[in-house]
Chain A
């Protein structure tokens, strides 16, 4: 698992810098291709939103210089850029992407857009052909973690913006906004935003009333609505189900008596007043009228604060969830990393077995049945011999114990790439030699080497497997090859006589 993430976001970089390194959808394929060509990058993805620009890469042991990539590609001061960039490696990189996808790193925690943006970035990287198996696994895990966080916590279930809270309250009253009429009184920015949200949620139509008729007409045109003359406001306001008021009036525009009259004309059908004006436009006593629901700016802000607090609580449990998922991902990645080693070990042993069988010339005079018996016997021995080291490799991989893995690789002289050190390849290992060719070039021989450096104590052997034709020092005693026996025990075993096979018996 070698991942590297570099980037900057709304927390640590000003918008002036973010906009300089932002990558548009049109430029993305080109940027992805350039990043893939950058030294040390095996796979990559670029996430560029209004709040962040991040490069996700899968790389080798030697991390690529992604700072250099950004500095070269964008006309920004390298020092400035470096001061604002962050970088995460391996498990921390995984954790970062999981947090981003789950909206824990967003400006508004729990907002749902970021997951869609990650998916778009992933789709673009796939289209550009720069996503391989490592990033694929990471991205798929990111999506499933984000989904889990969203379904198992209430992180995104509440609104935190004034406009969306207004929509939520209206929905609590009307169930659906379909066909509902919105009246926008005044031409304040926030009122406009709330009206826009209501329309986006399916509100049927909008009417605009303003003291300045021209502004009302401009807004009505923008929303595709109608103008209600301000002078007729009190007579016609009962036509609306939702009223958003944001005038600059210093007196109440709507009083309690107006509410009573309007409700009577509406035969009790509820009305919702969203008063975001300061000073307020609607008499607070209006809320006492049956069927009228009044929310002023303080009410909306209190709801927002309570919802934010809820989100923070949920974010804490989401962080724990993400941490668990990172650990699981790391375990899975370690197991995947160990697969070439396991294959190499088996391939190596099989190659040795075949070599020894070929060297036993008398086999040719055996009957088919005898040859089958010998075949089964040697394979059985090999499997039993390999059982313990295989288990040890798996356990080390699952525990993420790199030191143990390295030791096991050294013990069996296996390269990390899935190839025996001396050239005996694992089946399926790329770039290695296969079958007889491998054996011709690297003949099988195993020796036990006494490690004289080991505090000078004899009897504490460090084993190295060397494979050269014609020599086989290691011999096993019957019973020493049982499943569960440790590899060093097996390697210490004495000679094992294999009936019918000439030469030294080997597993």
Chain B
């Protein structure tokens, strides 16, 4: 039954992605309403399914790759909805909704083959650790996206003969504020997540945990985050430069995910 509802939610993300095209590119109000309603319904449905699964299996965190991806998809959809409500723009739906769909898709195709089974999964700290880091990743995705769209809009506004195709882009200031606020939010989440993870690791594994490549990369990502924030605050980093820095941070995030394969002490699934 859970699988059925996951599939329904995934299908809704898919349809919402399609609705976002005419809604954003041609400013069609009906499609805008449909995209928002479908994304909202899918996110709520996913939450209900996750809560049901957590209650049934007595755990608070996703325990397999598919589940983690689906949780990340849910966070991306939720962030998109929050941005739509706060900044009155659904332009991010062009990217966020397909991402939510693709991330939810593996879990809709079938359950994980390998799952992380540990009493840790029932702990509150681990829930904070996982949820915070996933939220930080989501925030960084949106920060990168906003920086990218800022760059596009900046080029469009400077080029007097730019085609009207990019007329849907939100104002520069809106994207700057989104990039800035997601960056700050992401930093707070990442700090909380790493702090919770460090507490658990210190207690369970000891100092050797902090030599693991995934863990090292995670702390590197945190440092990059700090430096981006400092530079932005002091120099007012925008446009192309902000885009470069966000890209670097995003690549580090990807490498943290990839480091899962090389990690001996911190991994979701056994091969």
Q: Could you list which residues of chain A lie within 8 angstroms of chain B, going by C-beta atoms?
A: 151, 157, 169, 171-176, 266-270, 287-288, 290-291, 293, 295, 299, 302, 306
> B240: CB under 8 A from chain A?
yes
Contact B157 A290 (CB under 8 A): no
**Which 6 A-B residue pairings sit nearest by Cβ, starting from the closest?**
A268-B236, A267-B236, A175-B171, A175-B173, A175-B174, A268-B238
Distance to closest chain B CB from A130 (angstroms): 37
Interface string of B160-181 (1 = CB under 8 A from A): 1000100000111110000000
Is A287's CB under 8 angstroms from B158's CB?
Answer: yes
B204 at the interface (CB under 8 A from A): no
Choose from B171, B239, B240 the contact partner of A171 (Cβ within 8 Å). B171
A314 to chain B, nearest CB (A): 13
Is there contact, CB below 8 Å, between B173 and A174?
A: yes
Bound: A291/B151 CA distance, A: 11
Number of residues from B at the complex interface, CB < 8 A:
21
- Supposing A287-B158, A293-B157, A293-B158 touch, asked if A172 and B172 sit within 8 A by C-beta, the answer is yes
User: Nearest A residue to B153 by beta-carbon distance?
Assistant: A172
Can you report 9 residue pairs joining A to B where beta carbons are below 8 Å apart? A172-B157, A173-B173, A175-B173, A267-B235, A270-B238, A287-B158, A293-B157, A295-B160, A299-B160
Which A residues lie within 8 Å of B164 (CB)?
A: 306
Taken together as a complex, chains A and B put the C-alpha atoms of A291 and B173 apart, in Å, by 11
Would A302 and B160 be within 8 Å (CB), given that A172-B171, A175-B173 are in contact?
Answer: yes
Complexed CA–CA distance, A396 and B220 (Å) = 82
Q: A293-B157, A293-B158, A302-B160 are in contact. Are A174 and B235 (CB under 8 A)?
A: no
Q: Taking the complex as formed, is B237 at the interface, i.e. its CB lies under 8 A from any CB of chain A?
A: yes
Known: A268-B238, A290-B239, A291-B238. A174 touches B157 (CB 8 A): no
Contacts of A299 in B (CB 8 A): 160
In whole angstroms, how far apart are the Cα atoms of A180 and B213 in the complex?
Answer: 48
Minimal Cβ-Cβ distance residue in B for A170: B171
> In the complex, A290 Cα to B158 Cα: how many Å?
9
Within the assembled complex, what's the spacing in Å between the Cα atoms of A171 and B158? 14
Tell which of A174, A175, A176, A290 touches B240, judged by Cβ atoms closer than 8 Å: A290
Shortest distance between the CB of A272 and any CB in chain B (Å): 9
With beta carbons under 8 angstroms apart, the residue of B157, B234, B239, B241 that contacts A169 is B157
Interface residues as binary, B187-230 with A (CB distance below 8 Å gives 1, 0 otherwise):
00000000000000000000000000000000000000000000
- Tell me, rounded to whole Å, the shortest Cβ–Cβ distance linking A158 to chain B: 9
Q: CA of A175 to CA of B91 in the docked complex: distance in angstroms?
A: 14
- Docked CA distance A174–B171 (Å): 6
Partner of B237, one of A173, A268, A287: A268
Q: Which residues of B contact A293 (CB under 8 A)?
A: 157-158
Nearest to A173 among chain B residues (CB) is: B172
Q: A173 near B236 (CB under 8 angstroms)?
A: no
- Max chain B Cβ within 10 angstroms of own Cβ: one of A173, A266, A288: A173
- Cα(A492)–Cα(B235), bound, Å: 98
Query: Is A266 a contact partner of B236 (Cβ separation < 8 A)?
Result: yes
Selected from A173, A268, A306, the residue in CB contact (under 8 A) with B157 is A173
User: What residues of chain B lie closer than 8 Å to A306, measured between beta carbons?
Assistant: 164
Per the bound structure, the CA–CA distance linking A377 and B153 in Å amounts to 79
Give every chain A residue within 8 A of B238 (Cβ-Cβ): 268, 270, 290-291
Closest partner residue, chain A, to B159 (CB atom): A287
Contacting A at CB under 8 A, from B218-271, are 234-241
In the bound complex, CA of A287 to CA of B241 (Å): 17
A416 CB to nearest B CB, Å = 44
* B235 adjacent to A270 (CB under 8 Å): no
Give, as a whole number of angstroms, the nearest-CB distance from A178 to chain B: 11
Q: Which residues of A contact B237 (CB under 8 A)?
A: 268
